[in-house]
Amino acid sequence: MSAIDDLFSRLKAENRKALMPFLTAGDPNIETTAAVLGKMKAAGADLCEVGIPYSDPIADGPVIQASYQRALESGFRLEHAMQLGREHAAAVEIPMVTMVSYSIIYRVGLEKYVDQAMACGYRGAIVPDLLVEEANELSAICKDKDFSLVQLVTPTTPKKRQVEIANSSTGFLYYVSVTGITGERTKLPTDLTDSVSWLRGETDLPICIGFGISGPETAARLAPVADGLIVGSAVVRRIAENTDPNIAAETVSQFVGELRAAIDSTEG
């Protein structure tokens, strides 16, 4: 059983929902990323998604695109994310997964990337641009090594294809709440509950909802539907507004605490 499987099994037994903040590695520098990560468990996060900056991001809105650009302009390289894991994963104490383009994994080498990421403390990878038709080799490697391969399902993904994606994924499924790019929203699709409920009947994997979660109100609305919530742009924006590592860490920690309280208020 992977670390992600173990986490969701424990959360289910406790009747709790996972909260997963997203951070861009190296925005504005690795020191800030490490400082924010160090506060996440105490604030109420259950795992963290670490975005690997890429010059041609997939489905990312302006806030996350800008964070990738800042990181790349400051000299970010993949090795910096690996070093972040080596030096801080144990202290973070909650599982970390990378959000990484398949082109980066392919360039490194599929098995080599997984081995490196695991050695550096990462427990899975979210791969937004991996076509299910091309997922078999990476899926097999990840299953063999108990390294979670998380893939995305969107509102426009045909139902047959959703099942195929679920069958080649491990850890959890990332359900994109809205059509389009990442970003904070106050309105979400009215059929979201029905769509997630249908998918839940087709897979045993936990389903985590991302894209569009702007704050505690949105989190509370979606928590009953999902096994977990992923919050990205709202976190990245707060880091961009507070570039001092300590201030950024405190600001994000407070926000994550508010999200946790909102999610917990719907449980029981």
Token pair belonging to 66: 């800008």
Per-residue buried b or exposed e for 124-155, using 16+ beta carbons within 10 Å of the residue's own CB = bbbbbbbebeebeebbebbeeebbbbbbbbbe
Q: How far apart are CA 45 and CA 258, in angstroms?
A: 11
Over residues 38-50, mean pLDDT: 98
User: How many domains does the structure of the chain reveal?
Assistant: 1
pTM exceeds 0.75: yes
**What is the span of the domain harbouring residue 179?**
3-264
Quote the pLDDT of residue 213: 87
Quote the pLDDT of residue 157: 92
Over residues 127-137, mean pLDDT: 95
Q: How far is CA 139 from CA 3, 92, 134, 256, in A?
A: 16, 27, 9, 31
CATH at residue 110: 3.20.20.70
Over residues 146-150, mean pLDDT: 97
- Mean pLDDT in the chain? 91
Compare 154 and 8 and report the one with higher pLDDT.
8
| Residues annotated as catalytic (active site), given as ranges | 49, 60
225-262 pLDDT, tens per residue? 899 999 989 999 999 998 799 999 999 999 999 999 99
Compare 193 and 135 and report the one with higher pLDDT.
135
